[in-house]
């Protein structure tokens, strides 16, 4: 399969999941608004959603793909069965602990609610109902990594749609057929998320079962050195892969001290995650296996070249997305969320948070791409240290900026953490002699910046004339603004040489 076909399959699946996620969050805002119940639900949903995003974007792939790919098919299938069995038993125990200690976990997730016992109790309830999804999506992610390693991308691209699709269905039923208090609506949604995760796991299990060549063989798990290394690598890999999500989790704890702060941060981050999640899925599913193969062959120059070309593609998407989100944040949050229980003041607060988060989007994207080489090389310590540095910067900057700027300052702290994370990854790679920006990357970046400036000027000019139409609920006007900006950027990118015919030829080569 050519790289472009693989990329399109993974990319379209990821994009479809993100679009469904948008629809889900629009319905969340309509059903729950941005008050105490919404804060409680979103605080409880933060950890399950964090795990779902990390593992759904291939967070365990850096530990699994290089290790299993080096084994013979039969031994790889047995080891994969051992991994699934051990992770399953471990996660069952963890789920039991969470069910018992949900009250303490609720206080950790939302310390700002320590004086509000009623809302804190709701956080605990929703945590108990939603946490089983962690077991399901983690096992599904391991199965997806095994399928990706064998070049089977269809099931792994489509399976994540089950979670968002199931929650959308639950929201439609709750809004259309039932008239329930907000607290009960949130409880049903939390339970629905766990059921949707079970459906996703069943989908992946069916794909593994229907393979012509057995991909998984179950037996009594053997405590082999490989299994031990995979388990020990699991935690640092998840931390390093989900660095941005961890930054958001830390920011959420600080935001819980502000009314509606948790909700504003959640909805803004969901918009920002659309382009970031796409690059994460492409990186873990396509770039990581390619880099792992090149690392095994010892071709350092090929690794550096592959990184630079991947970084070009990532910034080609991330830079215009960052600029567009910053410019049209207010109309976007208004059209997407301002309805039902979600008020105009909530849309304004969410827009300011989104503008602050958009600043860090290019840095978060660059870190996603560059960190794949550390994973392929097995340098988990360097990747972990870079993530820890970013987390420390996020906490320090968020606390410093929160008091004068509120949730907007907290979001700026996240962007500063993304900058520190990307810088630490780049420094680590240069220390290993595995990255240096070449002339092609520098020239392409300059052209991309020119195209982004052209798009930004056009968006700013159009905003003054189209804002009144958008303010009247004009989703079509917002869509026209977005598509117009995209068209101008595409034309400018072609005119400046940021995108050329040779790029398509490279993408369509057989991988």
The DSSP result for 223-273, as a single string, is --HHHHHHHHHHHHHHHHHTHHHHHHHHHHHHHTTSTTHHHHHHHHHHHHH
Name the 3-class secondary structure at 159: coil
Q: What is the pTM of this model?
A: 0.72
More confident residue, 407 or 462: 407
pLDDT in tens, 316-356: 888 999 999 999 998 888 888 877 677 888 888 999 999 99
Same domain (yes/no): 213, 349: no
Kind and range of the H or E element at 318? helix 300-327
> Is the residue at 247 inside a domain?
no
Same domain (yes/no): 480, 508: yes
The encoded tokens of residue 236 equal 């640092």
What is the domain extent for residue 41?
Answer: 1-241
Predicted pLDDT of residue 423: 93
Same domain (yes/no): 290, 217: no
244 pLDDT band, cuts 50/70/90, is: confident
pLDDT in tens, 11-38: 566 667 777 877 887 787 777 877 788 8
Helix axes 329-337, 344-359, angle to 10 degrees: 130
Beta bridge partners of 510: 2
Query: Which runs of consecutive H residues, i.e. helices, occur in 33-101?
Result: 36-56, 61-69, 73-100
**Most confident stretch, 150-154, 368-372, 441-445:** 441-445
Beta bridge partners of 2: 510
1 pLDDT band, cuts 50/70/90, is: very low
Same domain (yes/no): 281, 228: no
82 pLDDT band, cuts 50/70/90, is: confident
Predicted pLDDT of residue 251: 92
Q: Which of 214, 241, 268 is the last residue of a domain?
A: 241
> Is the residue at 346 inside a domain?
yes
Same domain (yes/no): 216, 277: no
Distance CA 257, CA 260 (A): 9
Same domain (yes/no): 452, 389: yes
Q: Is the pLDDT of residue 143 over 70?
A: yes
Same domain (yes/no): 420, 328: yes
Predicted pLDDT of residue 511: 44
> Count of domains in the chain?
2
Query: Torsion over CA of 9, 11, 12 and 17, rounded to 10 degrees?
Result: 120
Query: Torsion over CA of 356, 362, 365 and 370, rounded to 10 degrees?
Result: -130
Identify which of 339, 311, 321 has the alpha carbon closest to the alpha carbon of residue 441: 311
Same domain (yes/no): 338, 487: yes
Predicted pLDDT of residue 41: 87
- Cβ-based neighbours of 179, under 8 Å, separated by 6 or more: none
Same domain (yes/no): 229, 298: no
Q: How many CB atoms lie within 10 A of CB 501?
A: 7
Distance CA 347, CA 339 (A): 10
The encoded tokens of residue 348 equal 């304004």
> Is the residue at 250 inside a domain?
no
Q: What's the whole-number average pLDDT of the chain?
A: 80
Predicted pLDDT of residue 446: 93
Distance CA 420, CA 303 (A): 23
Q: Exposure pattern of 341-364 as b/e (b: 16+ CB <10 Å)?
A: bbbeebbbbbbbbbbbbbbbbbbb
Same domain (yes/no): 206, 275: no
The encoded tokens of residue 75 equal 């031994």
Distance CA 242, CA 248 (A): 10
Distance CA 394, CA 380 (A): 21
Q: Is the pLDDT of residue 457 over 70?
A: yes
Q: How many CA atoms lie within 13 A of 480 on its CB side?
A: 11
Predicted pLDDT of residue 177: 61
Distance CA 370, CA 422 (A): 8
Same domain (yes/no): 132, 94: yes
Same domain (yes/no): 457, 364: yes
Using CA atoms, how far residue 188 sits from 43, 129, 180, in Å, is 16, 9, 10
Q: Which of 208, 241, 274 is the last residue of a domain?
A: 241
Q: Is the pLDDT of residue 406 over 80?
A: yes
Q: Which of 241, 270, 288 is the last residue of a domain?
A: 241
């Amino acid at each position: 399969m050519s790289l472009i076909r693989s990329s399109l399959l993974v990319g379209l699946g990821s994009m479809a999941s993100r679009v469904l996620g948008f629809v889900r969050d629009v319905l969340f805002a309509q059903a729950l608004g941005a008050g105490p119940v919404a804060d409680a639900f979103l605080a409880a949903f933060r950890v399950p959603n964090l795990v779902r995003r990390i593992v759904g974007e291939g967070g365990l792939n850096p530990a699994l793909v290089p290790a299993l790919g080096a084994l013979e098919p039969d031994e790889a299938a047995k080891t994969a069965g051992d991994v699934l069995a051990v992770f399953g038993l471990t996660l069952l125990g963890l789920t039991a602990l969470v069910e018992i200690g949900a009250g303490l976990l609720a206080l950790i997730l939302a310390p700002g609610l320590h004086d509000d016992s009623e809302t804190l109790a709701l956080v605990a309830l929703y945590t108990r109902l939603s946490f089983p999804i962690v077991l399901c999506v983690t096992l599904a992610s391991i199965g997806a990594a095994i399928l990706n390693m064998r070049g089977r991308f269809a099931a792994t691209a489509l399976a994540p749609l089950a979670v968002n699709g199931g929650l959308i269905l639950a929201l439609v039923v709750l809004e259309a057929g039932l008239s329930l208090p907000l607290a009960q609506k949130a409880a049903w949604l939390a339970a629905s998320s766990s059921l949707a995760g079970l459906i996703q796991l069943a989908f992946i299990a069916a794909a593994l079962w229907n393979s012509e060549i057995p991909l998984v063989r179950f037996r009594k798990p053997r405590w082999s050195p490989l299994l031990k290394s995979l388990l020990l690598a699991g935690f640092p890999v998840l931390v390093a892969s989900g660095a941005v999500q961890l930054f958001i989790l830390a920011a959420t704890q600080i935001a819980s001290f502000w009314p509606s702060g948790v909700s504003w941060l959640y909805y803004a981050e969901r918009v920002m995650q659309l382009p970031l999640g796409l690059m994460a899925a492409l990186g873990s599913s396509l770039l990581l296996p390619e880099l792992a193969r090149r690392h095994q062959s010892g071709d350092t120059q090929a690794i550096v070249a592959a990184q630079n070309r991947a970084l070009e593609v990532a910034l080609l998407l991330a830079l215009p997305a960052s600029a567009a989100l910053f410019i049209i944040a207010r109309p976007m949050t208004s059209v997407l969320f301002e309805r039902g229980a979600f008020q105009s003041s909530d849309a304004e607060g969410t827009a300011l948070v989104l503008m602050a988060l958009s600043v860090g989007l290019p840095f978060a994207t660059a870190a996603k791409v560059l960190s794949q080489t550390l994973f392929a090389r097995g340098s988990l310590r360097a990747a972990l240290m870079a993530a820890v540095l970013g987390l420390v910067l996020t906490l320090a900057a968020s606390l410093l900026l929160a008091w004068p700027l509120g949730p907007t300052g907290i979001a700026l702290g996240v962007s500063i953490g993304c900058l520190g994370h990307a810088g630490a990854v780049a420094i680590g790679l240069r220390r290993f002699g595995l990255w240096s920006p070449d002339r092609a990357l520098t020239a392409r970046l300059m052209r991309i910046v020119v195209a982004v400036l052209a798009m930004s000027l056009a968006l700013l000019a159009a905003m003054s004339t189209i804002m009144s139409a958008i303010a009247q609920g004009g989703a079509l006007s917002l869509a026209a603004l977005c598509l117009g900006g995209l068209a101008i950027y595409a034309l400018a990118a072609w005119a400046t040489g940021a995108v050329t015919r040779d790029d398509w030829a490279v993408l369509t080569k057989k991988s």
